[in-house]
Each structure stands twice: as C-alpha cells, then as structure tokens.
Structure 1
Amino acid sequence: MTFSIVGRCPDTGQLGIAISSSSIAVGARCPWVRAGVGAVATQNITLPALGPRILDGLEAPQGEPAAALDRALGADEWRAYRQVTVIDSQGRTAFFSGDEALGLHNAVVGKQCVAAGNLLADREVIDAMVHAFEHSSGMLADRLLSAMHAAMAAGGEAGPVHSAALKVVGEVSWPIVDLRIDWADEDPIGKLDALWQAYRPQMQDYLTRALNPTAAPGYGVPGDE
C-alpha cells in the first residue's frame, strides 16, 4: 500500500521524505516535516495526527525520536494498524510497525535514514531503498528519489502505485521542496522525479524572492518587473 524513506543530509542539515502509495494523494496525509526538528512518515492505516504529535515531541526539551514516537502512539488506541518512521535534526531515528500492518512489511534503519513499507512485493524492497540512499550523491531530494527508484526496481508494492510525494525542509520555516503527484495511472515516481527536475533550478530563486524580493529574478509575467 505504501513505501517511504525519511532522511537527513549531514552537510546541509536538510530533512526530508519521499513516499509512494497505491492510494490517491499520499502526500496529503503521510509526510510531515519541520525545519530544524525532524521528519515523520505515518502510513499503513494512516493517522495524520501522529505526524504533528511526534514533531511536537521532538521539539520538546530533551525530545528524541523513540520517546516522541512512543508518546504519540500511546495516545492512539488503534496503534496496531500504524506504521511510522522518524528522523530528527541530529540524524537519530525510530520506527514502528504495528501487528496489523498490511501484507509483507518491513522497516530498516540506515545511515541518516530510515525506510519502511507495507503490502510489499518483497521485504528486500526496503533494504534496496536504504542501500540506494546511502550510496547516492547530490541534494537530499535527489538521494530520496534514488531510494524510491530503487524500491520500484526491487519490486515495489504488491500492486500498482498511483501517487507519490517529496518534501524537504532546510533553514527556513517552510518546506523548500513540496511536490506531489496525487494520481497517475502509471509511474507516479517517474512523474515526481520529472517535476523535481523542473523545480530544482528554480528552487533558490523562490527562496530569494521570499527573503529579499529586490534580489530575485523576474519571471516575465504581467506586472512582474
């Protein structure tokens, strides 16, 4: 039904998530990021509220992933149906797969990342994601997408995937990357990658435009000078 990876770039401190699912609009419910705090993927039978709760826990004094995850799940009577992964701003990780997680499921911690999935074609799909992330280079978004492509090459889900999302935070309070394919009959990950390749060369311009409009390039639209 869903596979994802949360990761951190040790060079930039960026935190991010890439995720794909057979369900529509996975990016609306499952990926949660907060600049300087952490990234959370809540999936399987999704409770979106777990994302903000865990991030709040990470932001609390002496917050750390395992404790924040345990506290959030402790308030959820249906936790047996959840699958959750967490990474914080220091690269510490935690994960949970409940007893009612769907089909073949797995979660694997790697260096500066943790990946998980359910209703998988093979448990090795998650190992392939971690290996790809650890051995890829470039921006965090590139590495997260490399993991997603590796997942598909290893078999992906037991059925077809239809949606995908990529979300990354950096130094500013809002996501610097927030891209979604809410529905595609085929290859949503490929479409998400193409969207990232189109957005990537403009990303810094939009940051500059927000922080110092006088230094930003124009975009050639009426009234934009």
Structure 2
Amino acid sequence: MTFSLVARCPDTGMFGVAISSSSPAVAARCSYARSGVGAVATQNVTDPSLGPLTLDLMGQGLGAEKAIAQVQARGKFIEYRQVLAVDYEGRTAIHSGPNSLGIWTQAMAENVASGGNLLANDTVPQAIVDGYLAAEGHIGDRLIAAMRAGLAAGGEAGPVHSAGMMIVDKVSWPVADLRCDWTDDCPIENIATAWDIYKPQLDAYVQRALDPREAPSYGVPGDD
C-alpha cells in the first residue's frame, strides 16, 4: 500500500525521503532522516521504531547494509516489514520481508533506494530510482520527479491518498517536512505544489532560526 524512496545528494550532503500510500498520514509513521547520518523509510505493516533505530545505528558508524542487518536481527515481526536506508556515504540497503503485501519489490543505486508493496506492477521502484537519477537540481525537485515517475509507472494497485517529503541539511531539524495526510486528489501533486511554494523560502526559514537579525523580512502586514 506504499511506495517510497530515500536519497542523498552527493553535491550538498542533503538527505531526503518521499513516500505515498493509500493509507492516511503515511509520512507521519514512515519517514525518518537525520543530518549527517542518512535517511530511512519504514513501511508495510509499519513499525515506526525501526526508523530511529536504523538512524541510530548509522549514526554509530555502521553503513546502510550493516545497519539493516542489525534491524533484521533486532526488529520484531521483521518478516512483515520493509525498511529502506541510505547512509552518509550514499550506500544503500533494503530489507523487504517475505510477508510484504501484494506485489512488492525494491531497487537500489548509489545515493538512492526505492521500495514498495501492493504495487500495480514490479517496475515501480526501478522507475523511481531511474527518475531520481535522471532529474537535476535541488534534492526536493529530484524527489518529486522520482515520485512522479513511480506514479507514471503504475504506482500502487489502488489510488493513493497521502504523501510526504522530508529533507534534512546541516541543522538538527528537517529543513522541509511537507505532508498531505489525506486527499481524494493526487497527494503527490499536492506535495509538489507545496514544494513550489516552500522552496524559495527554505533558506530564509533556516536563517531566521540561526540568526533572525540577518534574516529577510517576514512578508506580513506591518513588517518593515
């Protein structure tokens, strides 16, 4: 009921996660990223604890493959879970349990990994990976392009209703965390619209947190 990708930008060191599902509020349960460490998606009969666990393991110096091996050894009911990881060097790894739902599959390359379950067909994750690698620009633009490519390849077997995109950079909080928790329209396009609005303001929001004296104006009535 979900397809997603985790990715690293080799030029900036940013990490990102993008995800969509027929279930409500998928990003709230499934998307995890940490500056300087990596990004993780945990899905398919989701255990949200596996996201922070994987990040903690990578933060301790384990690469994605070794971190996922630890998750496989320590996770409960791991045969029902899918966990995707990309680490600080762009290495990727995926666990897909044999009890993943419906048509499920995965695809990996340097700096990007994708997986899904209850898919329309088994080409969707590879289309997502290819879409990410073919896109240019900001990691947010590339994440959107990848999700659109997955949707164009068939996406989920049924309609998707929620989506999210999280990006981390050099600070301890996500510099972008955009969500569509439920819609009967396309949630990926809702996220894309939000990104088009948010992207030009992203750096200003970070600057306001770091030093509001040097930040641009807020653009509200009464702000000089």
Equivalents in 2 of 1:77, 1:217: separation in Å?
Answer: 48
Per-residue deviation at 1:173? 1.2
- Give the gaps of 5 or more residues in structure 2: none
Q: What secondary structure, in the 3-state scheme, does the structure 1 residue paired with 2:178 have?
A: strand
Please give the per-residue CA displacement for 1:31-80, whole angstroms capped at 9, x wherever unaligned. Answer: 100000010000011000000011110011x4111221122232223000
What's the CA shift string for 1:143-191, capped at 9, x where partnerless? 0110100111111100000000000111111111110000011200001
Task: Please tell me the residue identity of whatever aligns with 1:25.
Answer: A
- From the superposition, tell whether residues 138 and 79 of structure 1 become closer, same or farther in structure 2 (CA, over 3 Å): same
Q: Percent identity?
A: 50
Structure 1 outlier segments of 4+, above 4 Å? 222-225
The aligned counterpart of 1:32 is 32
Q: Distance in 2 between matches of 1:199 and 1:94?
A: 30
One-letter code of the match for 2:154?
A: G
1:189 aligns with 188
One-letter code aligned to 1:204: D
Q: How does 1:80-119 map to 2 (within 5 A)?
A: 80-119=79-118
RMSD: 1.2
Structure 1 counterpart of 2:168, one-letter code: V
Cα distance in structure 1, aligned partners of 2:3 and 2:76: 23
**How big is each residue's C-alpha offset from its partner over 1:79-116, in whole Å with a ceiling of 9 and x where there is no partner?**
00001100011101110110100000111002310000
Instruction: Give the gaps of 5 or more residues in structure 1.
Output: none
- With normalisation by structure 1, the TM-score equals 0.96
Q: Which residue of 2 aligns with 1:12?
A: 12
The alpha-carbon distance between structure 1 residues 65 and 220, as it changes in their structure 2 partners (threshold 3 A), is closer
Contact 1:111/1:134 (8 A) holds in 2: no
Q: Aligned to 1:115, what secondary structure does the other structure show?
A: strand
